[in-house]
Amino acid sequence: MATNAHVWPINSGATRLPPNWSGWPGQKQFALILTHDVETARGQMKCRALMNLEMELGFRSSFNFVPERYRVSPELRALLTHYGFEVGVHGLKHDGKLYKSEKIFKQRAIYINRYLKAWNAVGFRSPAMHHNLQWLHQLNIDYDASTFDTDPFEPQPDGVKTIFPFSVMQISPQHWYVELPYTLPQDSTLFIFMQEHSINIWKEKLAWIAEHGGMALVITHPDYMNFSGTKFKVDEYPAQYYAEFLQYIHYYYQDQYWQVLPKELSRFWLNSYSLKQKTEIAQAM
């Protein structure tokens, strides 16, 4: 663990402001995005509890489901949407093969695009944080969220070294999407792999992101959360840790953050911020 200390949980080289940056809407100090990957049917069964926990504290989040690993409940998707949450697509089968070759990716992209459309979703996250930002242009998305500022514990550990979103452009055919890297460590890394018994690492990283005016984006997994407080499985941690973190943000950073869904943040980036950039580029030419 000590060998990663210079890049994790904080890589101090990730704070560079985007070009012509004029800040978050409402002059907020930082952006806050909560996302969940629902790995299995077990996780799906806990989504309502997680949704209620967040709603009680006044937060909204996105839930990413795996279309062909378990039966994704249309009722749950409708309920989440009804209460102002977002639904996204998390891979296709979650079998580790999505990025095996460009041919496989292309074949699967057809199916992923069908689920995006059927679910009225605009966001994607790859299983295991595998990523190829060029191939991802084949998806009909506003944003992808399969990267991270810094995370040496990932199988493809190439961090993007920024705590801001960024646009990914393809010239021909012209296509844009926004990449949203996660910037807070995953719950599974902290509470399952490292067996942490506090949220101190989240607090430390959040303070640093807030200081530099970036985007705090966290991934948690209902699969690993225990809401009952008893009969913990080896790959579970108390959902209370996550609740404690939300309460901490709410009280400690009151009015200082823009709590936003990833689809809203990517719209802001594509319509307001990137558009301004594109206009400036066009005017300069």
Task: Please give the residue ranges that form the binding site for Zn ion (CB under 5 A).
Answer: 37, 39, 127
C-alpha to C-alpha distance for 77 and 112, rounded to whole angstroms: 16
On whether the CB atoms of residues 213 and 255 are closer than 8 A, the answer is no
Q: How far is the CB of 37 from Zn ion (least distance, A)?
A: 4
Which lies closer to Zn ion via its Cβ, residue 37 or residue 149?
Answer: 37
Which lies closer to Zn ion via its Cβ, residue 89 or residue 261?
Answer: 89
DSSP 193: I
On whether the CB atoms of residues 190 and 242 are closer than 8 A, the answer is no
Q: How far is the CB of 91 from Zn ion (least distance, A)?
A: 7
C-alpha to C-alpha distance for 184 and 176, rounded to whole angstroms: 25
Q: How far is the CB of 65 from Zn ion (least distance, A)?
A: 10
Which lies closer to Zn ion via its Cβ, residue 42 or residue 278?
Answer: 42
Which lies closer to Zn ion via its Cβ, residue 60 or residue 221?
Answer: 221
C-alpha to C-alpha distance for 151 and 10, rounded to whole angstroms: 9
Which lies closer to Zn ion via its Cβ, residue 28 or residue 42?
Answer: 42
Q: How far is the CB of 125 from Zn ion (least distance, A)?
A: 8
- Amino acid residing at 229: G
User: Helix and strand tally (H, E) in the chain?
Assistant: 9, 11
- Residue 262: is the preceding peptide bond cis (ω within 30°)? no
Q: How far is the CB of 95 from Zn ion (least distance, A)?
A: 11
Calculate helix-pair angle for 74-82, 47-56, nearest 10 degrees: 0
